[in-house]
Structure 1
């Protein structure tokens, strides 16, 4: 009696909404925008671990809508004011780890992102939102840029702590 190896199971199908929302080009461009915005006010790129915070902060509609418009509001102040949104942040960051990895790999392959030591850097200025862009896309890009700027004012490990991740 011959025992043939079992055929490898096919990867689980992702729902079409997740495929569209977590499209690697879109998610990579959100990271490019965050890196570019950070570089405009700082001297280094976005720390590799901080990249894992960008998508959960910018793609989750309630979180994105709660981000301040005033650049003087710090991540710490925002986190205190929005503790209810942070209740599942650790789960969202873990859930977005694979799309973030895909986005980083795509950005590096497409030469939209580069590495400066362990920091991600935007290799070219990303396009700014226009009135022709869908509102959700425009809002996500603006949120990514805002979050990138936040990381000039805080150490990455403190951001994780403030957001309730890994505690």
Structure 2
């Protein structure tokens, strides 16, 4: 009796690049940086729904590279200027939901993140990027901090709407 051919790739196998990119420690640190930056310029932590926007904004290379350097540029202004990048944002947010959940859980377990009501807060100052860090890591951390600051100036529900999510 012949056996069915073995699959070429296991259905649960992930490419090593994807595994490295969505490493729980890395994604947790991006959330910690966003929460810390938000707290430096605001009075509350990062609303937990907003945490689901951090990874899609900071890990997608074209989106991360398009983030403004000028802190006076609002999320609304950036969204209008970069509507082409937002075409698949809803898909990216949905695709990053599981890594975001894992990052939040890891952050809470490892005491890198805490809860203040329904807001996520960084429990310790994250490390600043150094010249020894790979450029992509350094850029992602800077982007996470920038996005955290953006959430001081915009309500979470409006951020989702501006980014074309759930509409």
Coordinate RMSD, CA, aligned: 0.9
3-state DSSP of counterpart to 1:87: coil
Give the structure 2 partner of residue 129 of structure 1.
129
Segment drifting more, 10-19 vs 123-132: 10-19
Give the structure 2 partner of residue 161 of structure 1.
161
Aligned length: 158
Point out where structure 1 has 5 or more consecutive residues left out of the alignment: 1-9
Give the structure 1 partner of residue 46 of structure 2.
46
Q: Does 1:141 align with 2:141?
A: yes
Supply the distance in 1 between the matched residues of 2:13 and 2:165 (Cα, whole angstroms).
28
Supply the distance in 2 between the matched residues of 1:139 and 1:30 (Cα, whole angstroms).
11
Point out where structure 2 has 5 or more consecutive residues left out of the alignment: 1-9
Supply the distance in 1 between the matched residues of 2:11 and 2:26 (Cα, whole angstroms).
22
Supply the distance in 2 between the matched residues of 1:11 and 1:43 (Cα, whole angstroms).
45
Structure 1 residues 109, 84: closer, same or farther in 2, change over 3 A? same
Give the structure 2 partner of residue 37 of structure 1.
37
Deviation above 6 Å: which 4+ runs of structure 1? Answer: none
What's the TM-score once normalised by structure 1's chain length? 0.93
Supply the distance in 2 between the matched residues of 1:13 and 1:47 (Cα, whole angstroms).
33
3-state DSSP of counterpart to 1:121: strand
Supply the distance in 2 between the matched residues of 1:11 and 1:56 (Cα, whole angstroms).
24
Alpha-carbon shift at residue 13 of structure 1 (Å): 1.7
Alpha-carbon shift at residue 49 of structure 1 (Å): 0.2
